[in-house]
Amino acid sequence: MDITAVNALNYEDFVSIFGNVVEKCPIITAAVWSRRPFVTLNALEAAISEFIDDLPESGKEGILRCHPDLAGRDLQSGTLTRESREEQARAGMDALSSGEASRMSRLNEEYKTRFGFPFVICARMNDKANILRQLTERCGNERAVERERGIEEVKKICRLRLQGLVLCDAPNKL
């Protein structure tokens, strides 16, 4: 699908295809449909980023709170979105040793208690060891720093999901 095809989608198909590029926030995709046509895939991605940046701090925290824990109860109960399931599996979150699992669980709880939103990281750009290390380190940050850091990770996840949906068969057109 090239950007011309993306621009030709009605809002229902657009939201159906791109509605989860920001996890469980189809409103964001649905909102940026108003800004079509997009010159490139990067322009679509930029419109999503701008929408997120213009949200109040509570809205950014709301986005983070729509994300599941890494190796958390949604993974265990099979209720992750398809995208999250694939991303967490790729980073080895579905194959932790019992020691790693209990450490991850303890750190996730510590992080959520401290900040009031979950630890968000682009799993596809990190391996298991790196995720555990960053989770440990980021627990020590300030809340405002973590809110912005989490949103940066949301944007990385979004970029990779978009790229996965819009095949770059003609990169110069995207």
Cα–Cα dist 136/84, whole Å: 21
| 43 in catalytic set | no
Catalytic option among 67, 128, 147, 161: 67
The least distance separating a copy of itself from the CB of residue 6, rounded to whole angstroms, comes to: 16
Contact positions vs a copy of itself (CB under 8 A): 10-12, 15, 24-35, 51, 54-59, 61-63, 65-66, 112, 116-117
Question: Closest CB to a copy of itself among 120 and 126?
Answer: 120
Question: Closest CB to a copy of itself among 126 and 157?
Answer: 157
The least distance separating a copy of itself from the CB of residue 130, rounded to whole angstroms, comes to: 25
Cα–Cα dist 124/153, whole Å: 11
Question: Closest CB to a copy of itself among 34 and 97?
Answer: 34
Catalytic residue set: 67
